Amino acid sequence: MYYGERLNSISHLVGAVFALIALGSLLTLALQSQDPLIITGFTVFGTTMVLLYTMSTLYHSFPQPHLKAIFKVLDHVSIYLLIAGTYTPFMLIGLRGEKGLIILAVVWALALVGILTEVFLRGKLVKICQLIIYLAMGWACAFQMDDVKAALHGQSFYWLWLGGIAYTAGVVFYLLDKVNRLQHAHGIWHFFVMCGTIAHFIAVLGFV
């Protein structure tokens, strides 16, 4: 394993540990609330967090081509799941109505489309689809931000925005990695992903 891959695997191993701790915290708070929507939203968000960082760590840890190919697909699939999983508490708990369910259905449908492209498409086409779907999913609720803001407490809404900005800014380094224009660009991308996840975790805590 070369240095860059070691950095990539270690960074998201740290993320996986954080995700496990976050999942435990979310489940504890959700069960204390006794609210079915909070329990569902927190469980989905926390589980997809753990899944993403675990799959990413495994993908960057195995040098064997056949294993790396398998975990690459699982890593990319888990990105779609985390984006949809992040939406789940905000739409279920925050909007609690038809608007939230519609947006949630659209986002999970986009996640399914993204997963299918990962499984069945290859080459540049899948990379183009990745970027378009990631960004479309990430900002799908922008026109409902006033309702989401009203549902959150304190500074949680601003943490939500900071998370979105972190993920979006990280895309720059994701693209630089794809064209080999910056050394360790993928590791920097990982850093932005972790910042986005932490920000959204803090935002989700605003529901309790």
Q: Read off the amino acid at residue 32.
A: Q
Q: What is the pLDDT at residue 208?
A: 66
Domains of the chain: 3-207 (1.20.1070)
pLDDT band at 3 (very low <50, low <70, confident <90, very high): low
User: Global pTM?
Assistant: 0.90
Q: Is 123 left (phi over 0), alpha (psi -120 to 50) or beta?
A: left
Residue 184: closest CA among 60, 83, 71: 60
| pLDDT recorded at residue 11 | 87
> Is 80 exceeded by the pLDDT of residue 138?
no
Per the CB < 8 A criterion, the answer to whether 192 and 173 are in contact is: yes
Range of weakest confidence among 138-142, 191-195, 203-207: 138-142
b/e map of 150-169 (b: 16 or more CB within 10 Å)? ebbeeebbebbebbbebbee
Per-residue pLDDT averaged across 186-193, rounded? 90
